[in-house]
Amino acid sequence: MTLAIRPAERADVPVIAELIRGLARFEKLEHEVSMTQERLAENLFGRHRYAETLLAEEEGVPVGFALFFHNFSTFLAQPGIYLEDLFVVPEQRGRGVGRALLKELARLAVERGCGRLEWSVLDWNREAIGFYERLGAKPNSEWTVYRLAGEALSALGRE
């Protein structure tokens, strides 16, 4: 296997969009995807780049991606990297693709002076949880993630 990890470029937007749809299918959340390629291109490669994407390719064929952005720890007074999505196409799982993506993210975090790399995982995804724990990741079970979206977000913003 000739695996390469590289930063995505604007021309990769259709590939990133298809990998996002694959992730949504895997997570049984297709009904929540309202992403368009235009919006993805603008927010990843436009005037303000809100996130970055790494692509994993085997002999030029996309087999996975990691989408991430910087956050900030006030307690550490350092930036961090938040991994929003990590996805490997089903037929490539167990071959080191996910590990290679996380290894590159860890390298970037160290290079950029980040104090941590963190992410969320669905509690039913036992395979992913086991994989992350084998890498040395620890769950942060004392915290609960909250989200404002859609009308609730709009309503609060209008107050």
Q: Which residues are catalytic?
A: 132
With contact defined as beta carbons under 8 Å apart, do 117 and 132 qualify?
A: no
With contact defined as beta carbons under 8 Å apart, do 30 and 55 qualify?
A: no
Read off the tokens for 82. 């938040």
Identify the DSSP state of 153. H
CA–chain centroid gap for 102, Å, is: 10
> Is residue 4 within a helix (H) or strand (E), and if so which, with residue range?
strand 3-7
With contact defined as beta carbons under 8 Å apart, do 97 and 88 qualify?
A: yes
